[in-house]
A and B are shown apart, each in its own frame.
Chain A
Amino acid sequence: MQVFKTYLKILKKHLHVASIYVIAFLLTGFAMTFMDDSASLFEQTRLKICVLDLDNTPESRALCDLISKQHDIREMPADEDAMLDALYYERINYALTIGKGYAEKLAAGETDGLFENRFLHDSYSTAYMEQFLNEYVCTVRAYLAGGAASADAAAQACASFETETAVRVVKSGPENTSDMSLAAALFFRYLPYLFISVLMNVLCPVLHAVNKKDIRFRTDCSGVRPLRYTAAIFGGTGVFVAGIWVIFVAAAIPMNGGLYHGTAWIAVLNSLVFTLFSASVTLLVSGFDPPSNLVNMITQMISLGMCFICGVFVDQNMLGENVLAAARFLPAYWYIRVNRMMEGSDAFDGALALRAIAIEAAFAAVLALLTVLVRKSRSRSASA
């Protein structure tokens, strides 16, 4: 009990440093949630297109109107560098320039080189838009060949693009059956990164103080059994970790639009188990007593590495089969599997969710056991 109390006292002394990290990573979490549009990035059917109309005739404006119906027109300065940036970061998918003399050439039946495409790479977007423009030109040409006047042909062509093909969707993906709002689910998605970062950065200096060689030797000389000592450290860490977990989970309540209910509690349980895992990682790493200026580097290596491989930052759908196969051996993968149900990306499957959470718990338990072993072996070694 004495060790436990003292440990909490030391933790209290580190609260100011802890609050720096908690606030910083909480803000990061909010920012991630609100800035995130990666979920829709590769699911889009409406492209973001910037159009530069140098011709500015009824014909060219008719084309612009048609494009704006099917896609989103983005205003852009007529600057190649800006277009390159926008294309690269996928703020736009296609940069179209309608050349001067477009209407005249079209009326004369010329089709080649009517448009300029500021080109970055052979993406689907490029192929899609080039296909569309060629079709449009062909259609106008056909109406012209059918005897229509230039302006009529353009209007008729536009009208013909309004017809829709009957499309049947076999599998539309799962319906969003989760009881959690998308914003809260997105925030929860980033919790693995946030928890590992916060816990490692906050707890390692504290554990460093407790693990100091002299203090450890002195404690070893006392009547306290090593196992009890480790248990007290685990207990104290548990109290602290629970506090941080409550802060983060409570912070997501407003995003959820009210208290969690129904299946959302599974997400909460998921995050709790992952927190336990984060805590065991922290205890394990601190068992090796890393120097304070390296803690963050090690933290980022573990948290960023695991989060990228397991689909925290990049959607699991986008990652290759092999990557996901390897990721199965990391708890963040299972965390994300559950969270995807909350986001509505996967159908809800209670049994799978519970199994995934159990796997995370198993990881936490194994690491905790490892920690005990490391502590035991290191307490005897003369070095360190």
Chain B
Amino acid sequence: MFLHCLIYELKTCLRAKDLIIWLLLFPIVLGTLFKVAFGSLYEKNTLFRTIPAAVVEQSAESMLRTAADAVSEGENPLLSVTYTDEATALEMLEQKEIKGILYAGDTVTLTVGGSGIQESMLRAFAEQYNRYESVIRSTAQQNPQKLPQVMAALSGEVSASSRISLTEGNPDPFIQYFYNLIAMVAMFGAVTGLHIVSDYQANMSALGARRCCSPVRRAVSLSAAMTGSCLAQSVCMITCVSFLAFLLRIDFGSRLPLVYAAAILGGWTGVAIGFCIGAATRFSSNVKTGITMVFSMACCFLSGLMIGNIKAVIAEKAPWFNQINPVAVISDSFYCLNLYSDYRRFCVKILTMLIMTVVCTVIGIILSGRKQYASI
């Protein structure tokens, strides 16, 4: 009987093309737009790239050239320096070809075009130069015999800090928009879940009434419907992840199969939530759809779909909320898979989704259990 119901549930699901098409189209369109918008942001704005600067030599005695050349060498150096006259330098600054102009006079002064981290780094370089120069000058005056040691101390190669890499995953913070996009698609499964309720309740539809008259146990027919919806949702999730991973080449880290698993489970959670909302509320289907949509959009918003760092703010102020916000849980599971090498946190997220799915389904089945209606 379960199988019979399931087969027909799938048939109707697949033939009601609208929903499936939109569920498939949605991540494809938004994913492409996200890719277009965020594709180069990480490299452009976050990752360090050599800072272009100009040096204007105003004093022949300045050693700035030595110092500047020293930091312009090697792979991915701090600066790339152009030596030029003031007028050209200002013109370059105007054209945003360089970030700042270093004037090599008695001391080094700096002219910049704005205030950002690159400008701050130029400033730090200038200060360093001035500092070193004053140290050398004062040593030369007070302790000339120590000058060679001091010079050596200042110029030697130093790597004071050793890097301890926290992750082998993809550290691009803009990926989280794609995580949230997948989570949103998963939450749209709620629409399918909502559908189940109206199809099986006598007071919501004529079909529901006819089904109520049949001798099939409610739990059997409802779980068949749930299974059908979850399967259909799984197809959507698989397409969504495949599109993002293979066509848009979003780097989800090295464990793509688990990304699929998490996405599919997330989709089921979405279906179960919709089912639960539908069963628990007593409104017209328009209002039910409204509530479901507002709920899922609020969850998406609080998970950082629109503004990326909201989740981090919540993690600081009310960390428990991120543990129960289904969208945050789903998108965090991708995050954990990407950044953490061990599976502990990922398992916690997966377990949370499982619990949510089961709890929502059970509540839904209980609430929409065999019952009589006050009016049809």
Tell yes or no: B162 within 8 A of A by CB: yes
Q: How far is the CB of B372 from chain A (nearest CB, A)?
A: 27
Known A116-B161, A121-B172, A318-B45; further 9 A-B contacts with Cβ < 8 A: A20-B291, A24-B294, A86-B312, A128-B124, A135-B124, A144-B153, A167-B110, A169-B115, A293-B289
- Bound CA span A130–B78, Å: 11
Q: Among the listed A14, A89, A193, which residue makes an inter-chain contact with B306, where contact means beta carbons less than 8 Å apart?
A: A193
Inter-chain contact A130/B161, CB cutoff 8 Å: yes
- Bound CA span A119–B159, Å: 15
Q: Among the listed B45, B150, B191, which residue makes an inter-chain contact with A293, where contact means beta carbons less than 8 Å apart?
A: B191
Contact with B along A142-156 (1 / 0, CB 8 A): 111111000000000
Q: Among the listed A170, A197, A298, which residue makes an inter-chain contact with B111, where contact means beta carbons less than 8 Å apart?
A: A170
Q: Among the listed A20, A96, A123, A141, which residue makes an inter-chain contact with B46, where contact means beta carbons less than 8 Å apart?
A: A123
The 8 closest A-B pairs by CB, nearest first: A89-B312, A115-B161, A119-B163, A145-B149, A121-B171, A145-B153, A141-B153, A296-B293
Inter-chain contact B48/A123, CB cutoff 8 Å: yes
Stretch with Cβ within 8 A of A (4 or more), from B6-14, B17-25, B353-361: B17-25
Inter-chain contact A117/B162, CB cutoff 8 Å: yes
Q: How far is the CB of A89 from chain B (nearest CB, A)?
A: 3
Closest to A119 in B: B163
Q: How far is the CB of A54 from chain B (nearest CB, A)?
A: 13
Tell yes or no: B345 within 8 A of A by CB: yes
Inter-chain contact B153/A35, CB cutoff 8 Å: no
Stretch with Cβ within 8 A of A (4 or more), from B28-36, B244-252, B255-263: B28-36
Tell yes or no: B60 within 8 A of A by CB: no
Determine chain A's interface SS by DSSP, over half rule: helix
Inter-chain contact B287/A17, CB cutoff 8 Å: yes
Tell yes or no: A101 within 8 A of B by CB: no
Q: Among the listed A20, A28, A96, A165, which residue makes an inter-chain contact with B107, where contact means beta carbons less than 8 Å apart?
A: A165
Inter-chain contact B127/A42, CB cutoff 8 Å: no
* 17 A-B pairs with C-beta separation under 8 A: A36-B307, A38-B308, A44-B116, A86-B312, A89-B173, A116-B161, A121-B46, A121-B171, A122-B47, A128-B124, A130-B160, A138-B156, A165-B126, A205-B286, A304-B30, A308-B38, A309-B36
Closest to A173 in B: B114
Q: How far is the CB of B261 from chain A (nearest CB, A)?
A: 22
Q: Which of A14, A89, A96, A134 has the most CB of B within 10 A?
A: A89
Closest to A299 in B: B293
Q: How far is the CB of A300 from chain B (nearest CB, A)?
A: 7
Contacts of A113 in B (CB 8 A): 159-162
Inter-chain contact A145/B195, CB cutoff 8 Å: no
Tell yes or no: A132 within 8 A of B by CB: yes
- Bound CA span A50–B162, Å: 16
Closest to A305 in B: B33
Q: Among the listed A83, A112, A164, A294, which residue makes an inter-chain contact with B18, where contact means beta carbons less than 8 Å apart?
A: A294
Inter-chain contact B124/A131, CB cutoff 8 Å: yes
Closest to A88 in B: B173
- Bound CA span A124–B76, Å: 12
- Bound CA span A120–B170, Å: 9
Q: Given A90-B309, A128-B117, A165-B107 in contact, is the A146-B161 Cβ separation under 8 Å?
A: no
Q: How far is the CB of A305 from chain B (nearest CB, A)?
A: 4
Contacts of B93 in A (CB 8 A): 170
Q: How far is the CB of A381 from chain B (nearest CB, A)?
A: 18
Tell yes or no: A301 within 8 A of B by CB: yes
Contact with A along B314-331 (1 / 0, CB 8 A): 011000000000000000
Tell yes or no: B112 within 8 A of A by CB: yes
Q: Among the listed A85, A127, A318, which residue makes an inter-chain contact with B78, where contact means beta carbons less than 8 Å apart?
A: A127
- Bound CA span A41–B113, Å: 18
Inter-chain contact A298/B301, CB cutoff 8 Å: no
Contacts of A214 in B (CB 8 A): none
- Bound CA span A72–B87, Å: 37
- Bound CA span A143–B135, Å: 8
Number of A-B contacts (CB under 8 A): 310
Contacts of A304 in B (CB 8 A): 30, 33, 305-306
Tell yes or no: A222 within 8 A of B by CB: no
Contacts of B287 in A (CB 8 A): 16-17, 20
Inter-chain contact B294/A21, CB cutoff 8 Å: yes
Inter-chain contact A32/B307, CB cutoff 8 Å: yes
Count class of interface residues, chain B: 35 or more
Tell yes or no: B146 within 8 A of A by CB: yes
- Bound CA span A21–B128, Å: 56
Q: Given A88-B171, A134-B158 in contact, is the A160-B166 Cβ separation under 8 Å?
A: no
Residues of B186-225 at the interface with A, using a CB-CB cut-off of 8 Å, are: 188, 191, 194-195
Q: Which of B109, B115, B123 has the most CB of A within 10 A?
A: B115
Inter-chain contact A133/B316, CB cutoff 8 Å: no
Inter-chain contact B154/A138, CB cutoff 8 Å: yes
Contacts of A173 in B (CB 8 A): 114-115
Inter-chain contact A119/B309, CB cutoff 8 Å: no
Q: Given A44-B117, A117-B164, A138-B154 in contact, is the A85-B315 Cβ separation under 8 Å?
A: yes
Inter-chain contact B23/A165, CB cutoff 8 Å: no
Inter-chain contact B44/A320, CB cutoff 8 Å: yes
Tell yes or no: A250 within 8 A of B by CB: no
Inter-chain contact A124/B46, CB cutoff 8 Å: yes
- Bound CA span A90–B108, Å: 33
Q: Among the listed B131, B167, B306, B315, which residue makes an inter-chain contact with A32, where contact means beta carbons less than 8 Å apart?
A: B306
Inter-chain contact A169/B112, CB cutoff 8 Å: yes
Inter-chain contact A168/B109, CB cutoff 8 Å: yes
- Bound CA span A44–B117, Å: 6
Inter-chain contact B153/A142, CB cutoff 8 Å: yes
Inter-chain contact A147/B143, CB cutoff 8 Å: yes
Q: Given A89-B315, A124-B118, A293-B289 in contact, is the A301-B30 Cβ separation under 8 Å?
A: yes
Q: Given A134-B159, A134-B160 in contact, is the A314-B38 Cβ separation under 8 Å?
A: yes
Q: How far is the CB of A160 from chain B (nearest CB, A)?
A: 5
- Bound CA span A292–B286, Å: 8
Contacts of A291 in B (CB 8 A): 18-19
Q: Given A89-B309, A323-B36 in contact, is the A28-B298 Cβ separation under 8 Å?
A: yes
Contact with B along A163-204 (1 / 0, CB 8 A): 111111111110000000000000000000100010001000
Inter-chain contact A17/B286, CB cutoff 8 Å: yes
Inter-chain contact A90/B312, CB cutoff 8 Å: yes
Inter-chain contact A84/B115, CB cutoff 8 Å: no
Tell yes or no: A64 within 8 A of B by CB: no
Tell yes or no: B280 within 8 A of A by CB: no
- Bound CA span A344–B299, Å: 31
